[in-house]
Chain A
């Protein structure tokens, strides 16, 4: 049996950030996930906003970690080469009741220690953001709010952790955890491993993981959020525009993405099924209707895809980050709902502290390197850089995804970094994320993955498990 000092269950942004934080110490860490890639849960489909922190209830762990996490993002993104744009976020009010809410948010932000906030008049807000509806009466501007790329953040943390010695155990769902003298025996897929400490970062399923050691102190419920994503050619806002919670519900937001697209969302629908990420017609209709309120110019002819994510709503009403009462050697980082993406670096620091307090002695690893870089994007290179890149690697001259101008070199690099599925390549390179949504490049990307990994075409999947892409060889065989 392989032995680890710490097994982190869940390779979402929470688990990956924790793994990265722990990788600076001399110890053996495993990052385990049931999915065949990192970032397959909530960390894949969310609003991608680095929240300023005025929204969380004062005094909550959420509020504290949000504000801390927000500040840490600058360094983390710089070290990990993850896009971060501090665009500023706007909460817009369209009547007096909503204006009251905006002022309340401002007050709450002050209590939470949020810097750089300002209440703008409707005119001032529209001067900043021309897409904002004309009847905006006032808006809260939070200068530290911004946008990032959530799966890129997760992948970056996980890659950096691996570079510093963390093992990825993917496609290994944890089905049992047994406490022993030395720690735990964790059944991860086909393999039992021994871990002195377990970190429970299993998102929506973190209550199930807690229950594996007899801890039923909390439950986690799914709340769906649906989105419509617009093509890059559509007019995009410059700021993240929130609506205030009002009688009509929580409101949806309109936002740019770091890749130049824009989206509207999310809806908020409570459900019982923890795996159902389907998009509903009601959801789509609601988004179209409500987006018009804050940005009437949003053009829905440019929708290129719709998707949904599941928030992990904890029964306690706050992040659950503490040792388990059933066995203090399991540390929960559970029920990480929004703003969990923003909070991740701060959650990682807190979990590190809790592990130390649990009796792990940590010595610094002098070889630790906090840096990781993104796969070099051909599209973003200058002409000279393009020339040099092609001279060095002719695969840079082969454009595979024409919508996003992604080259074969980038795809090969994604596979070498661990992508095994079509979606894995897509998230690491953007191949298939453009206006044709992979209609053109999917067969070509499949060919490259198959060639590079030796996985036959019939065994390739979209995102693991049963998501196979083709049924069988044709009768006529290769044409």
Chain B
């Protein structure tokens, strides 16, 4: 094969960037290649022109492109080869990566290790099947963000937003600044899936109403959206309550109803998937069920903060480098289970052996007041901490002492 690299990174967003740099640190001599289908690196951060990135990672408030640029600037010095305008079509368990590349044509690359960093996509109206017409003017929030921030066009002037995900919140503010009127953010759940910080800065500060337990029950308009019907839902069944319908005149409906990891390549290759995260099942090194294939960032599970993406990806990049250099992690494998209020915990597997600290990330499945988080190993309690409030919108992290893990562990809430 014409092209051979020790480490191939698929995706040049924040995950891929952090993984590449940490792979370089771990393996100074390795041949590293990054494949990105866009013309530019930076992933979704390129269109996130607002502030608020990097508070944790750099201790400083940066815009999305600035945050990405900090990593991009280091790539050249780190001698990481980058192919942009290159779309990966599939990869195999032999770690042959097939891609099409504007500059090189159809190319196969033999990799020693692969890091998957393809990010995620947004859920759409179809996934929700909202009744009504199918006019122009229905966008996912990220699509509207791209139109507005990259192309320079305001998608519409009177807006209702369905879902209180972070991108929707950010777009509520952005479109208000651009002169649009954001009439409502409707959230079907009794809590927001976005960060509290964004609710305050984007909605409260701009007098945009947020209604919990509300959803869009019809879209109106033959050609362009002319309005939407919003109804209250029964919190127990999530079904609309008859008689609560309210009509909102608008020309745009933005959907901010969640993200799904973009794992078609991963599934195609036969990597074991987690039904809850929609990402691969990984161990603490972010190695998937396929040896030498690692995953990190939003392709693994949806993160709320890019800072966490960078941290996670550094782990994956370093582990991929060690693997490519012939150091394979081996040992007894324990499962990490999530139950009783915990939706998922990651990593899903732990390879025994290390004595150090181990970070476990998790999300709860509903909003809880004063729960206690517990980690059990058999009848041993490895971790227990009281929390004030927990919501699915915020990813939680805890640090375990790996030496204490002697079997499968369970992450749960004591509600």
Residues of A near any B CB (own CB < 8 A): 228-229, 233, 275-281, 283-284, 303-307, 383, 386-387, 390-391, 394, 396-399, 402-403, 405, 422, 435-440, 442-443, 446-447, 457-458, 461-463, 465-479
The residues of A that contact B155 with a CB separation of less than 8 Å are: 469-471
B126/A439 in contact, CB under 8 A: no
B129/A476 in contact, CB under 8 A: no
- The verdict on A439 contacting B100 (CB below 8 Å), with A447-B151, A466-B223, A479-B149 known, is no
A394/B102 in contact, CB under 8 A: yes
A443/B106 in contact, CB under 8 A: no
A92 to B133, CA, bound (A): 32
B87 at the interface (CB under 8 A from A): yes
The residues of A that contact B101 with a CB separation of less than 8 Å are: 397
CB distance from B226 to the nearest CB of A (A): 10
Closest Cβ neighbor of B101 among chain A residues: A397
- Residue of B105, B136, B150, B154 near A443 (CB, 8 A) is B150
A475/B179 in contact, CB under 8 A: yes
A457/B153 in contact, CB under 8 A: yes
* Interface contacts beyond A440-B121, A476-B178: sample of 14 additional A-B pairs, CB < 8 Å, sorted by A: A278-B133, A383-B98, A386-B106, A390-B105, A436-B122, A437-B126, A439-B139, A439-B140, A443-B150, A457-B153, A470-B156, A474-B148, A478-B151, A479-B49
A-B contact pairs, 12 of them (CB 8 A): A277-B134, A280-B131, A284-B131, A304-B127, A397-B87, A397-B105, A467-B136, A468-B136, A469-B155, A471-B155, A472-B153, A475-B179
A-contacting residues, B106-163, CB 8 Å: 106, 121-122, 124-127, 129, 131-137, 139-140, 142-143, 146-157
- The verdict on A306 contacting B152 (CB below 8 Å), with A279-B131, A397-B85, A397-B101 known, is no
CB distance from B131 to the nearest CB of A (A): 5
A437 to B126, CA, bound (A): 8
B132/A279 in contact, CB under 8 A: yes
A416 to B219, CA, bound (A): 33
| Cβ-closest 3 pairs across A and B | A466-B223, A462-B136, A305-B126
A396 to B121, CA, bound (A): 23
B153/A473 in contact, CB under 8 A: yes
B251 at the interface (CB under 8 A from A): yes
Which residue of A279, A284, A478 has the most chain B CB atoms within 10 A of its CB atom? Answer: A279
- The verdict on A304 contacting B124 (CB below 8 Å), with A390-B106, A479-B49 known, is yes
The residues of A that contact B142 with a CB separation of less than 8 Å are: 439
Which residue of B133, B136, B178, B224 has the most chain A CB atoms within 10 A of its CB atom? Answer: B136
Interface string of B36-72 (1 = CB under 8 A from A): 0100000000000100000000000000000000000
- The verdict on A471 contacting B156 (CB below 8 Å), with A303-B129, A466-B224 known, is yes
- The verdict on A402 contacting B143 (CB below 8 Å), with A437-B126, A447-B151, A474-B153 known, is no
Closest Cβ neighbor of B128 among chain A residues: A303
Task: Tell me the total A-B contact number using a CB cutoff of 8 A.
Answer: 154
The residues of A that contact B143 with a CB separation of less than 8 Å are: 438-440, 442-443
A283 to B268, CA, bound (A): 34
A346 to B146, CA, bound (A): 47
B89 at the interface (CB under 8 A from A): yes
The residues of A that contact B139 with a CB separation of less than 8 Å are: 439, 442
The residues of A that contact B149 with a CB separation of less than 8 Å are: 479
The residues of A that contact B150 with a CB separation of less than 8 Å are: 443, 479
Which of under 10, 10 to 19, 20 to 34, or 35 or more describes the interface residues of B?
35 or more
B178/A475 in contact, CB under 8 A: yes
A476 to B50, CA, bound (A): 14
A399/B136 in contact, CB under 8 A: no
The residues of A that contact B89 with a CB separation of less than 8 Å are: 405
The residues of B that contact A281 with a CB separation of less than 8 Å are: 131, 217-218
B122/A396 in contact, CB under 8 A: no
A386/B100 in contact, CB under 8 A: yes
The residues of A that contact B217 with a CB separation of less than 8 Å are: 281
- The verdict on A228 contacting B129 (CB below 8 Å), with A397-B101, A467-B223 known, is yes
A397 to B224, CA, bound (A): 34
- Residue of A233, A278, A435, A474 near B132 (CB, 8 A) is A278
- Residue of A387, A397, A471 near B102 (CB, 8 A) is A397
B127/A402 in contact, CB under 8 A: no
Closest Cβ neighbor of A279 among chain B residues: B131
The residues of A that contact B122 with a CB separation of less than 8 Å are: 436, 439
The residues of B that contact A305 with a CB separation of less than 8 Å are: 124-126
B100/A390 in contact, CB under 8 A: yes
B129/A399 in contact, CB under 8 A: no
B126/A397 in contact, CB under 8 A: no
Closest Cβ neighbor of B89 among chain A residues: A405
CB distance from A79 to the nearest CB of B (A): 31
Closest Cβ neighbor of B147 among chain A residues: A443
Interface string of B203-218 (1 = CB under 8 A from A): 0000000000000011
A399/B37 in contact, CB under 8 A: yes
The residues of A that contact B93 with a CB separation of less than 8 Å are: none
- Residue of A307, A405, A471 near B251 (CB, 8 A) is A471
Closest Cβ neighbor of A461 among chain B residues: B136
CB distance from A149 to the nearest CB of B (A): 19
The residues of A that contact B124 with a CB separation of less than 8 Å are: 304-305, 435-437, 439
B222 at the interface (CB under 8 A from A): yes
Closest Cβ neighbor of A457 among chain B residues: B153
The residues of A that contact B264 with a CB separation of less than 8 Å are: 403
- The verdict on A396 contacting B131 (CB below 8 Å), with A304-B126, A474-B154 known, is no
B154/A303 in contact, CB under 8 A: no
- The verdict on A402 contacting B153 (CB below 8 Å), with A303-B126, A467-B223 known, is no
The residues of B that contact A284 with a CB separation of less than 8 Å are: 129, 131
- Residue of A283, A383, A474 near B178 (CB, 8 A) is A474
A440 to B121, CA, bound (A): 8
A402 to B217, CA, bound (A): 30
B157/A471 in contact, CB under 8 A: yes
A279 to B167, CA, bound (A): 27
A443/B146 in contact, CB under 8 A: yes
A305 to B138, CA, bound (A): 13
A307 to B178, CA, bound (A): 33
A284 to B240, CA, bound (A): 14
A472/B154 in contact, CB under 8 A: yes
A163 to B98, CA, bound (A): 38
The residues of A that contact B180 with a CB separation of less than 8 Å are: 471
CB distance from A208 to the nearest CB of B (A): 18
CB distance from A361 to the nearest CB of B (A): 43
CB distance from B42 to the nearest CB of A (A): 14
A345 to B318, CA, bound (A): 63
